[in-house]
Amino acid sequence: MPKDTFNNLPEEKRNHILEIAIHEFAANPYDVASISNIVRKAGIAKGSFYQYFEDKKDLYRTLIEISTDKKQALLTELPSPSPWSDLFNYLRWQFLSTVIFEIRYPDLSQITFRAFVEEVPFPEMAEELRRRGTTQFFKQMIAQGINFGEVAVWVDSDVAAFLLETVFYQFGKYFIKRLGLSESSTLDIKIFESEEAQQLIDNLMDIIEAGMKRSPKQREDYFNKG
C-alpha cells in the first residue's frame, strides 16, 4: 500500500523506482537491502521515498504484490488447459509457467523465493503469502485428482502439495543453471523450443506424474507393502 503520492507519479518514474527496488531486494535479504542504495540509484531524494512509501516494509510488501500480480497475469496470458480435465497436464502447464516466470522476471522470482525460504521479518506476511500462494491450491487439486481417479488413493494430498511447491520454487534456478543461460537472457520463451529445454521439463514432470498417478501396478505395490 504505497501512498497516493506514489501512485500519482508518472508511470515511467514509478516503474524506474520499482525496478531498482526489485533489483535490490532480489540481490539481498530483506535486512540487507538498502533504501539508501535504492534512492541513490533511482536518483530520487531520501525524503521523497518516505513520501511514496510508509517505510521499508511498505515497499517490500508492494514488491511482493507486484510479483504475485505478474505471476497471475502470466498465468492468464498463457493458454491454460482446464485443471479439471487432465490434472497432470495442468500441473505440467503450471510448471512451465513457473519456469517462464523465472526467466522473464528473474528478480521478482528471486524475491518470492526469498520470501519462501528465508524468514521474512514479518511473520504475518509469510502467512499471507502461503495463504495466497500455491500450497492450498495444489492441495485441493491433488485431493480432487484422487476423487476423480487420476491420483493414487494412497497419496497424502498435503505431502504431495509440499513436494510440488518445493520443487516449483527451486526449479527455475536449476533450469537456468543447467542450460547455462545467462540471467539477462532475452531469448524469453523461445528457449522452450529447444529440445533440451523441453526434455528437462518433461523429465521432471514425468517423474512426478509417475510418482502420483493411479495405476494398477502402483495400487498393487501399495497394498502389498504392509
Partner DNA sequence: CATGAATGAGGGTTCATTCAT
Partner DNA sequence: AATGAATGAACCCTCATTCAT
Q: Quick one: three-class SS letters along the chain?
A: CCCHHHHCCCHHHHHHHHHHHHHHHHHCCCCCCCHHHHHHHHCCCHHHHHHHCCCHHHHHHHHHHHHHHHHHHHHHHCCCCCCCCCHHHHHHHHHHHHHHHHHHCHHHHHHHHHHHHCCCCCHHHHHHHHHHCCHHHHHHHHHHHHHCCCECCCCCHHHHHHHHHHHHHHHHHHHHHHHCCCCCCCCHHHHHHCHHHHHHHHHHHHHHHHHHECCHHHHHHHHHHC
State the residues that interact with a copy of itself by CB under 8 A. Answer: 27-29, 31-32, 113-114, 117-119, 152, 154-156, 158-160, 162-163, 166-167, 170-171, 174, 178, 199-200, 203-204, 206-212, 215-218, 221-222
State the binding partner of 203 from DNA, a copy of itself, none, CB within 5 to 8 A by kind: a copy of itself
Q: Which stretch binds DNA (CB under 7 A): 4-12, 77-85, 156-164, 205-213?
A: 4-12
* Cβ atoms of 64 and 129 closer than 8 Å: yes
Site string for DNA, 14-53 (x = CB under 7 A): -------------------xxxxx------xxxxxxxxx-
Within residues 48-107, the interface with DNA by CB under 7 A covers 48-52, 55-57
Using CB under 7 A, which residues numbered 185 to 224 contact DNA? none
Partner whose footprint covers residue 167, from a copy of itself, DNA, none (CB < 5 to 8 Å by kind): a copy of itself
Q: How far is the CB of 105 from DNA (least distance, A)?
A: 23
Q: Which residue has the cell 542450460?
A: 179
Applying CB under 7 A, the span of 8-16, 72-80, 123-131, 133-141 interacting with DNA comes to 8-16
Q: Which does 52 bind (CB under 5 to 8 A by kind): DNA, a copy of itself, none?
A: DNA
Which residues of the shown chain bind DNA in the complex (CB under 7 A)? Answer: 3-5, 8-9, 13, 33-37, 44-52, 55-57
